[in-house]
Amino acid sequence: MPDYADLLEKNRRYLWNPFTQMQEYLAEEPVIVERAAGVRLTDVRGREYLDGNSSLWVNVHGHNHPDLNRALVDQLGRVAHTTLLGSANVPAIELAERLVGLTPDGLDKVFYSDSGATAVEIGLKIAFAYWQRAGEPQRSRFLTMRNAYHGDTIGSVSLGMSEAFHAEFRPLLFGCDQVPYPDTYRFDGTASECAEHCLAVLAGHLEHHGAETACLVVEPLVQGAAGMIMMPPGFLAGVERLCRAYGVLLFADEVATGFGRTGRMFACEHEGVQPDLMAVAKGLTGGYLPVAATLTSDALYDAFLGDLASRRTFYHGHSYTGNQLGCAVALASLDVFEREHVVARAAALGERLSRGLQPIALLPHVGDVRRRGLMTGIELAQDADTRQPYRTDQVMGVRVCRRARELGLLTRPLGDVVTLMPAPAASDGDADRMLAILHEAIAEVTGP
């Protein structure tokens, strides 16, 4: 076993972790993972942890899954990577066919990249360039939902500006139009009044600016990084209807919600929504390798056709686009989805969470518990009844997750929203244990 103190020192000297305040991280004896199996991670000190957020929303079938491992080894014996720029490879083509078959009707072509952020950037560039080619260059504006999160590159941050994460980069961003997202927790009224209100604001915006709008980007059903905010029923279908009415492309960012997390393969399915563009990433390879995809309709794809001299080509690509190892493991992951009925399992596990969350919702400092499928947010508050939030310097979310870690559960807070998102591979017993740890950590840290 590698030596913890030695690794920690090298972490301090050489490694800069993402989304991490290194000063505090290094002072807190960080977890250094050495191996994992199923939903259990083991660190270099031999301590075991339950993977409470699917290793940040990516893992699906558990770690070290024999089928996924085998698919990688098999592919490795043939070739690890060749370029998709002007040539192709076997698993990239086969995976594209599978994705087109699985995603909502009207998504016909697959453009690969390697992260959720790049999948979003590609979608916004395709939408923009499409209108140039379609003779409506005035459609150049992007419409997004308030508090959306679409990744950390400059283009995706322009779409999904988070005050907490991104405010200092504002001068680098291109402007987008924003409409309110239906946050029923903060709306004074019923869920359906909230949806109606937000749809009316969207309709009003499109009435004035619809003809200049290239596309509307939305996290369907659940705004993840905003704090697991759930859309009221009917809202997503309403958004699609308005996009159609004003000729605006609909771009679904299913990076978090895709691959079973909401209890369906894709969140759009819940309301029969058929977007023109869709971004997928996190769960695509079962959490093994960084492969992402932007799916588009044939109508968009066709606008880029022409001879070389026409200059209609989509000039975008990444060195590792369509990576064979990644596509092979994604294909193996989709096989496991079918063979083991993983989406039905995700839905059933979600129902179990719903029961197990009831006692947590009754704690005196839990203001709200939100869940769709496996995507769960537990919002802490000074007082459950008034929902008075904690001061940010109390860092309650961080403290609760720190205590959960001591008790053997890894997850991360979003502000004062403690997230729980077990992989569908978690057993009922694993899920119950995760809930029990969260219950104890919240009760202990937030007090009576």
Ligand X SMILES: *Cc1c(COP(=O)(O)O)cnc(C)c1O
Residue in 129, 215, 281, 334 binding ligand X, rule: CB under 6 A: 281
Residue in 38, 52, 224, 260 binding ligand X, rule: CB under 6 A: 224
Nearest residue to 122 via CA among 131, 133, 111, 130: 111
Structure token pair of residue 7: 């690794």
Question: Smallest distance from the beta carbon of 300 to ligand X, in angstroms?
Answer: 20
Which lies closer to ligand X via its Cβ, residue 225 or residue 303? 225
Distance, C-alpha 14 to centroid of its chain: 29
Evaluate whether 431 touches 439 at the Cβ level (below 8 Å).
no
Question: Smallest distance from the beta carbon of 436 to ligand X, in angstroms?
Answer: 27
Residue in 112, 149, 181, 288 binding ligand X, rule: CB under 6 A: 149
Residue in 52, 151, 326, 422 binding ligand X, rule: CB under 6 A: 151
Q: Cα-flanking dihedrals φ and ψ of residue 386, to 5°? A: -85, -15
Nearest residue to 271 via CA among 224, 315, 306, 221: 221
Which lies closer to ligand X via its Cβ, residue 253 or residue 368? 253
Question: Smallest distance from the beta carbon of 219 to ligand X, in angstroms?
Answer: 5
CA atoms within 13 A on the CB side of 253: 29
Cα-Cα-Cα-Cα dihedral of 434, 439, 442, 448, to 10°?
Answer: -170
Q: Is 179 in the site for ligand X (CB under 6 A)?
A: no
Please give the helix or strand (H or E) that residue 229 lies within, else none. strand 229-230
Residue in 115, 297, 323, 324 binding ligand X, rule: CB under 6 A: 115
Structure token pair of residue 294: 């932007």
Contact track, ligand X, 379-398, x by CB under 6 A:
--------------------
Q: Is 84 in the site for ligand X (CB under 6 A)?
A: no
- Which residues is 279 bridged to in the sheet? 253, 294
Residue in 51, 253, 379, 430 binding ligand X, rule: CB under 6 A: 253
Segment interacting with ligand X (CB under 6 A) among 5-13, 109-117, 374-382, 396-404: 109-117
Segment interacting with ligand X (CB under 6 A) among 97-105, 113-121, 333-341, 399-407: 113-121
Q: Cα-flanking dihedrals φ and ψ of residue 83, to 5°? A: -75, 150
Segment interacting with ligand X (CB under 6 A) among 60-68, 80-88, 149-157, 407-415: 149-157
| Residues present in the chain in total | 448
Evaluate whether 443 touches 403 at the Cβ level (below 8 Å).
no
Binding residues with ligand X: total (CB under 6 A): 15
Radius of gyration of the chain (CA): 22
CB-based burial label for 210 (10 Å; 0-12, 13-18, 19+): buried
Q: Is 225 in the site for ligand X (CB under 6 A)?
A: yes
Residue in 133, 139, 150, 365 binding ligand X, rule: CB under 6 A: 150
Q: Is 124 in the site for ligand X (CB under 6 A)?
A: no
Question: Smallest distance from the beta carbon of 172 to ligand X, in angstroms?
Answer: 17
C-alpha to C-alpha distance for 334 and 339, rounded to whole angstroms: 9
Which ranges of 341-448 does DSSP label H, i.e. alpha helix?
342-361, 396-406, 428-446
Residue in 124, 239, 255, 328 binding ligand X, rule: CB under 6 A: 255
Which chain residues interact with ligand X by CB under 6 A? Answer: 115-117, 120, 149-151, 219, 224-225, 253, 255-256, 281-282
